[in-house]
Amino acid sequence: MPLDRRCFLRSLCGTAAASLWRCSQPDLAPEPPAAAHAFVPYVVGANTAITGWGFFEVAALLADIGYRSVEVQNLSGKLDPVEGEFPGFTYDKISEEDKERILAALKPFDHLTAHLPYAADMNYIAPAADEAVSRLGNAMDAAEFLGAKLAVLHPQPSGADLYANWDLAVSRIREWGSIAADKGFRIAFETAMPNSVPDLVRFQEEIGHDNVGVTLDVGHQARFKELAHVEPEERGSPQAVQAYNDLNLRIVEALGGKLFHVHTNDIEPDTWAEHKPLIHGFIDYPRLIAKLRETRFGGVLMFEIGGDAEKMPGWLREGKSKMDAFVGA
């Protein structure tokens, strides 16, 4: 139907008003892209586990290299060098003078974490485990004394069976999470067991404690069900290496904010032996760090490597240089 003169003029006025309104509004600038996630300034660290060295020697070495974070391992053992053993201390068996020396040795570091003991005679997830639970409690006292912000826990200590004691492990770790919160640190149980991504996520969810999360050890996934298809003779193949690295990324993504901590090391390609210095190039750190940045990881990348004690200083220096470059890329 053709517009009459009155309707036509009304239409023109409406169009003009709309145009004037649009012109009167300020141009809306496009939203800036989200800033890249910044890791904590002390993101690269190392632990004190050098076989046959004394505690104070290791602390001095790590400070000299320039590490800003340190993980005390283990919270048992001796401060002085013992052949074939990591240095450490048992909190209720050291003197007040020793305590002062320990704190002074750790003063150069900005961030401290601790590794709770996991020896074969410490099955703290067994039904009758009073002594083991007491020893773990003593180690938690040590973590508090150190001023640690996080303590790493093996949910399945050496020789134990997590799946057989699942419910008890869940309840005990939940309880330890509350104890740790009162002492000022978080607990992050380490990957290896449960040995699949769904089980790992389920275990964490059943614990259901704000103060309990996970430590991804990049070398502990060899026995995960997701890699069961890899034959031993194929472990060093490009396909197997990628499958392993893909699994680490899947764990990071599945855990999100419940990933509190990462243990860094390398893997021997043909054997999948872990805790190696960064000399093999098995772990794809550029991909891993990109995924950690994507998930806004707020923890520390803590070296946990082993091998010839005489070579450890060089490996730790080289490892820090490489990890700094990966993080800064």
C-alpha gyration radius of the chain = 26
| Cα(267)–Cα(88) distance, integer angstroms | 26
- Could you tell me which of 83, 81, 86 has the C-alpha nearest to residue 71? 86
Q: State pLDDT tens for residues 221-272.
A: 999 999 999 999 999 999 999 999 999 999 999 999 999 999 999 999 999 9
* Structural domain contains residue 27: no
| pLDDT for residue 278 is more than 60 | yes
* Structural domain contains residue 6: no
* Structural domain contains residue 136: yes
CA distances from 84 to 41, 78, 209 (A): 34, 12, 37
* Structural domain contains residue 35: no
* Structural domain contains residue 29: no
The number of folded domains in the chain is: 1
β-bridge partners, 115: 152
Helix, strand, coil shares, percent, the chain, to 5? 45, 15, 40
* Structural domain contains residue 153: yes
Predicted local confidence at residue 74, as pLDDT: 80
| pLDDT for residue 182 is more than 70 | yes
Predicted local confidence at residue 236, as pLDDT: 97
pTM as predicted: 0.89
CATH of the domain at 131: 3.20.20.150
* Structural domain contains residue 243: yes
Predicted local confidence at residue 120, as pLDDT: 81
Q: State pLDDT tens for residues 63-90.
A: 999 999 999 998 888 999 999 999 999 9
- What number is the average pLDDT over the span 191-203? 98
Predicted local confidence at residue 12, as pLDDT: 43
Predicted local confidence at residue 3, as pLDDT: 45
* Structural domain contains residue 70: yes
Question: Which domain, by its residues, includes 252?
Answer: 40-328
